[in-house]
Structure 1
């Protein structure tokens, strides 16, 4: 028999940390706005994509990872998020919300701040060599060098939510870490 989740167990840290929230499908932007209105720091990674309608092409901003919003909360203020319309649940393991490292949120900011194409994946890649981008638009980005369909890509793992972000980059711009 499933017991209800005890909210007190969801966030066990007094310090403010990033957590992933699962939202209602296609409600990420509205949910993120409501979270921000509640006074909670929130990050919704958006990417510009070109979409075709029957009569035109248009650039639109879409969530990079569907149904996910990231919130920065502590044990004292996470309850604000629980009652926001559109919020479904925190991503948890053993009844505790899984914190997302600041470095992964920073990597998302770097990736989306550059005007390049990124690919979201749930593929399970073998661990690659740790690298850092030392030049160009993605300077400071850290990830793993992996191979996909014969081309080298940098993978930023978001292991806590089972996703990764792939970007194609010239290996001359990389340095082993």
Structure 2
């Protein structure tokens, strides 16, 4: 539950591609907010351009007390608070600090909804190794995992982004 006195961080689900608009609207209401953005080089058929994109699409973070709950929800583009068991789920200050530090250091962040553990059977879903199956050996970081590929009766260790993997049944 959102407390009366101590402001805590919460994730707010916003309309697709509205992260910057909601961020600006919340700041105008003097609500502490954070929308993690990262510069990425985008390429079109006729040009390349550096653009700021949300690291976590359709979400912004707010640090609020109970009295700011409804002003956040009533902000144009806001859909709902991320909840657990029917209550808005708070995010520890340390997690927001870590996310800010990663972005400030220009560490490229990729978000994946897949949860992989050592020993899981995985398949490479895209990239030059598409279709190869293997076993997850370990997580090197939040960005890379190490997998063993057992094709051609040889074992290869490959470091790859988790966003390129899917679960495999064998």
1:91 aligns with 2:82: yes
Pairwise mapping of residues 46-85 of structure 1 onto structure 2 (< 5 A)? 46-85=37-76
Identify unmatched segments of 5+ residues in structure 1.
1-9, 128-147, 156-165, 169-177
| Runs of 4 or more consecutive aligned structure 1 residues displaced over 4 Å after TM superposition | 148-152
Q: Which moves more between the two structures, 117-126 or 92-101? A: 117-126
Q: TM-score, normalised by structure 2?
A: 0.69
Higher-Rg structure is: 2
Whether contact under 8 Å (1:18, 1:100) holds in the other structure is yes
Pairwise mapping of residues 1-150 of structure 1 onto structure 2 (< 5 A)? 11-12=2-3, 14-126=5-117
Tell me the matched-pair count.
129
Whether contact under 8 Å (1:19, 1:98) holds in the other structure is yes
Find the aligned partners of 2:89 and 2:136 in 1 and give their Cα distance: 32
Whether contact under 8 Å (2:40, 2:51) holds in the other structure is yes
Q: In structure 2, what is the equivalent of residue 137 of structure 1?
A: none
Identify unmatched segments of 5+ residues in structure 2.
119-134, 146-170
Q: 1:53/1:91 Cα in 2 relative to 1: closer, same or farther (>3 Å)? A: same
Question: How far apart are residue 14 of structure 1 and its match?
Answer: 3.3
Find the aligned partners of 2:45 and 2:115 in 1 and give their Cα distance: 36
Question: How far apart are residue 70 of structure 1 and its match?
Answer: 0.2
Whether contact under 8 Å (2:3, 2:66) holds in the other structure is yes
SS at match of 1:29: helix
Find the aligned partners of 1:118 and 1:64 in 2 and give their Cα distance: 7
